[in-house]
Amino acid sequence: MLRRNQRSNGFTLIELLVVIAIIAILIALLLPAVQQAREAARRSSCKNNLKQIGIAMHNYHDVHNTLPPGYLDNDPIADTENRNLLGWGTFILPFIEQSALYNSIGEVGGFDVNWTSITEMTTASATVPTPYAKVILKSFICPSDPMGGINTDVLNYGKSNYTGVAGNTYRTSAAGVKPTGTFYDNSSVRFRDIRDGLSNTIIIGERSTEGTKNGTIWIGNYSNGAYYTQNAITSPTSAYYGINGSAGSWNFTSSHTGGAHFLLGDGSVRFISENIFLGTYGDLGYIADGDVIPEF
């Protein structure tokens, strides 16, 4: 009698191990690509945030014929009715579709006195479950930043990853002279004041909470923390404020590899390398130093 050949329908152990090895290799190759794609999407979203802020700045300038102040100071040289410490992030709220929040701040007196003294701004209550200063606004948050929407490094208020460029110092009252950048205490810079050219001047940059970095808050200043709303920029002789520099907690930094996004005066957004020549970087932060800006 002829015997039929019997064929197994299953896998051998060796075949199974080979399949598992192939799948593991494919996953190992795929994961970095997926991560890169996600980071590319986050970078694009961060860039778009700055573009929207740029549009808001231009709309604010169209209405008020000036850019918003870095923040309104409460020192003796300031107007008494302007001692509220609110920053540029608050003043552009109507131009980023946050008119209701802006009006609510005004209704509780936030524009008339130091905002930190107002309960509705800082402390949850029955009438205001979420204090206005703790509202999380996605327009001010870089998706790549590791911290959530509340800045746990800065008083637990609504986080921002974007800060103004003050130039050679943070504030006028501390330096005794007007800073060379766009945003500082009680600043009122017009486009015509940016004589180096809007396309040659950075006005807003990223600030992450990565590692020892502190990010900032969108509402404005707190006490004497001028660095909450703006940042001094590096000089050719010091790398302390360089992009993604390890020193300090308030320099321009990002969670993106190799540099950070910056908003220029003309509304465009550039990703600037952390290896940029410090002299060029410093010139970009000054609004009227007259230096020629090389390619960057």
Task: Give the phi and the psi of residue 166 in degrees, each rounded to 5.
Answer: -95, -15
d(CA 85, CA 182): 17
pLDDT of residue 173: 61
pLDDT higher than 90, residue 79: no
3-class SS at 129? coil
For the chain, give the number of residues.
Answer: 296
**CA 77 remoteness from chain centre:** 29
pLDDT of residue 39: 75
| Better-predicted residue by pLDDT, 33 or 251 | 251
What would the pLDDT profile of 247-286 be if each residue is shown by its tens digit? 778 889 999 999 999 999 999 999 999 999 888 998 999 9
pLDDT higher than 60, residue 164: yes
pLDDT higher than 60, residue 243: yes
Say if residues 173 and 73 touch (Cβ distance below 8 Å).
yes
pLDDT of residue 257: 92
Residue showing tokens 């766009």: 182
* CB-count exposure of residue 114 (10 Å: 0-12, 13-18, 19+): middle
pLDDT of residue 224: 65
pLDDT of residue 8: 55
pLDDT of residue 137: 97
**CA 278 remoteness from chain centre:** 21
pLDDT of residue 127: 81
Q: Give the model's confidence band at 78: pLDDT under 50 very low, under 70 low, under 90 confident, else very high.
A: very low
d(CA 255, CA 208): 6
pLDDT of residue 292: 87
pLDDT higher than 60, residue 150: yes
Task: Kindly state the percentage of the chain with pLDDT values over 90.
Answer: 54
Across 76-85, 120-129, 202-211, 233-242, the highest mean pLDDT is recorded for 202-211
pLDDT of residue 248: 75
pLDDT of residue 279: 87
Write the DSSP symbol of residue 237. Answer: T
What would the pLDDT profile of 3-32 be if each residue is shown by its tens digit? 555 555 666 777 778 788 888 887 777 777
3-class SS at 158? strand
**CA 14 remoteness from chain centre:** 54
Pick left, alpha or beta for residue 36 (phi over 0 → left; psi -120 to 50 → alpha; otherwise beta). Answer: alpha
Say if residues 263 and 269 touch (Cβ distance below 8 Å).
yes
d(CA 289, CA 8): 82
Say if residues 74 and 86 touch (Cβ distance below 8 Å).
no
Spatial CB neighbours of 177, under 8 Å, sequence gap ≥ 6: none
pLDDT higher than 90, residue 161: yes
**Which tokens go with 229?**
């709303």
Amino acid at 71: Y
Say if residues 137 and 106 touch (Cβ distance below 8 Å).
no
Q: How far is CA 255 from CA 39, 47, 140, 272, in A?
A: 10, 13, 14, 13
> Element (H or E) spanning 161, and its range?
none
Tell me the average pLDDT of the chain. Answer: 86
Amino acid at 128: V
3-class SS at 245? coil
pLDDT higher than 60, residue 82: no
d(CA 286, CA 200): 9
Overall average pLDDT of the 180-207 stretch: 94
